[in-house]
Chain A
Amino acid sequence: MTMVPIARRMLLTDRRRALLGVAGVAVALVMVLALEGIAAGSTRQISRYIDTSPADVFVSQKGVRSIHMSISVLPADVVDQIAAIPGVAWSEPILLVSDSVRASRVRRPAYVIGYSPGEPGGPPVVVEGTEPGPGEIVIDDRAAAMLGVGIGDQVDVMGRSWSVSGVTTGMTSIVNTIVYVRYEDLGTVLGRPSSASYVLVGTDGGPAEVAADIERATGHTAQTRPSLSAEERSLVRQMSTDLMNVMAVASLVVGLAVIALVLSATVLSRLKDIGIMKALGLGRAGVTRLVLGQALATVAAAFVLAVGLTVGLGAGVARLTPDIDLVIESASLIRAAVGSLVVALAGAALPLLRVWRVDPATVFRSAS
């Protein structure tokens, strides 16, 4: 049932206005998509240590279910206790604290991880130099670039100076970076050499079953890698939810204002045409379809443009500021699409009220 595409034709009669409308709504959508993309990218980065770890299970102090914004302290002998549990292939303690890594006047928030070189828990890869010796530190390549340091240079962490022995990669996010020192060094700095923050566990069997066995045997919290990773992301997401919501609502309002203005302008400039159409037999439903069609066409074009712009923005941001990852998740796209639909419907409301009132008899010359 092909009909004359009257909504599209009317919209495109003034191409400049149509383009401005599409661009305005697209900018509002880009704001939402980019912010959510950066948040999603950061969230992924924040769990990078967990995701790249060879451990199948992470053991933490009872009740501690995340790394971010948490402190976990375990007695050192728990490592041997865990190693004796059936299904455990290996267990390795790490220390983990939050601080900053500084060089000259530049400071970067950091997780400081104390591990035993040659054992699990260290950087996934050392791209330059070696694992840390006593008094040495491995830092991420992006952090090294920001701090302007390289192998052999000094950085300050936890109130003392460390010599950079190696460089790893992929461990810097918009939020922080990860630096690695020897387990003993960090224990000494913390004043608790015989404790651990977390115990990393490799398993022979199913990680979930082993984690449950560890909890029963030790009374501590044990989570599989995917579970801890999801928990970590959820925590970070919760922390940014309010800000994201505020920005999303602000963007929605901007989009709403743009679409309402564009549609109102289009409709007001075409009231006579709408009167003609009503006189010719276009009913209330047809008029509604006409206005909604223009609104939906505008936001649909804006949505496509916004996704394209956000992808381009992500590529540009990655090139200019490598510590920011902009990831467009399908959930974010769905939210933006639903938001666009809401904007289209709400933005069309005022123009609709106006066109519903258009008297078809106005097509005749002034009353005589």
Chain B
Amino acid sequence: MNEIALAAEDLHKTFGDGDIAVRAVRGVDLTVRRGEVVLIMGPSGSGKTTLLSMLGAMLRPTSGRILVDGIDLAVVPDSRLSRLRATTFGFVFQDFNLLGALSVRENVEFALNLAGVTGRPARLRAEELLTGFGLSRRLEFRPDKLSGGEKQRVALARALANQPPVVLADEPTANLESKTGHEIARLLRAIATDEHRAVVIVSHDARLKDAADRVLWLEDGAFGSFEEMATAPVCGMSVSPVGAPHLQTADGIVSFCSAACRDEYAALRSGRSTVV
């Protein structure tokens, strides 16, 4: 059994007080092991980003514990959180979030600098990582000269720069066309399997299910069962009934964001529905 890289215990986050209090996350328990890919899905407003922000040491929980490599993030002083983010987490963002003022190489080198690796070692490590992601000819390019897939590969290289035990990815395929999205999903899978890291992905993209070991459904700030996942709005996506993959059930027609999502739901209800 692989060791636990990230664990959240009875995690709560409430914004505001009294009548205007919003309970964004309610009693979330989550354990992610090294080598494992966990995909968290859920409708807009379900608390996915709040949860990811807490897991990534950017937001303190109202109560509960977040353990990363044995350290409880909830009680780590503010002065140490930045350093912890630099060394413990790798982040992959929906908008790539590369620094436009820096070259591709410098973007990765900067992440290393934040962890205390500077000079030639940082430069060599950045070049090695980027070469591994097939970007050896783009080292001195500015991010705005790269394609979406290239940008996300730079972001992956940056996320892995400091060899973090946990990689957190927020909608990593949202701005990518299908083929590139599959490639990024494959790379995230490889990061977990080959590099023995825990990968947590928050996404609406059903294509990522193929890369995940587990799919969790977050709704109203708490994890629900996959059965609950297949209730309208299915997968949290805004699905137009016109032309969307759908399923005729005894209760009526349910629309899906993707055929994979529909098939998974159908398999769960096998014998009780008809694929249309």
Contact = CB atoms under 8 A, between A and B. Distances in A.
A361 interface: yes
B170 A284 contact: no
Given A281-B85, A281-B114, A360 B101 contact: no
Nearest to A281: B86
A280 B86 contact: yes
B29 interface: no
A272 B94 CA distance: 14
B178 interface: no
A270 B53 CA distance: 21
Contacts of A281: 82-87, 111, 114-115
B62 to A, nearest CB: 15
A137 B247 CA distance: 115
Contacts of B82: 278, 281-284, 286
Interface string A280-311: 11111010000000000000000000000000
Interface in A350-368: 359-361, 363-368
B91 A280 contact: yes
Given A2-B119, A365-B170, A286 B114 contact: yes
Interface in A198-219: none
B114 A280 contact: yes
Given A1-B118, A13-B100, A364-B53, A279 B91 contact: yes
Which one of A4, A277, A360, A366 has the highest number of Cβ atoms from chain B below 10 Å of its Cβ? A4
B263 interface: no
Contacts of B50: 367
Interface stretch (B40-48, B128-136, B145-153, B227-235): B40-48
Interface residues of A, number: 31
A276 interface: yes
A368 B68 CA distance: 24
Contact of A4 (B42, B58, B113): B113
Given A361-B59, A365-B94, A273 B114 contact: no
Nearest to B54: A361
B2 interface: no
A10 interface: yes
B144 to A, nearest CB: 11
A4 B82 CA distance: 18
B86 A273 contact: no
13 contacts: A1-B119, A3-B118, A6-B102, A9-B101, A279-B56, A281-B84, A281-B111, A282-B82, A284-B79, A360-B58, A364-B49, A367-B45, A368-B43
Interface of B: 24, 42-50, 52-53, 56, 58-59, 79, 82-87, 91, 93-95, 97, 99-102, 106, 109-111, 113-115, 118-120, 122, 158, 170-171
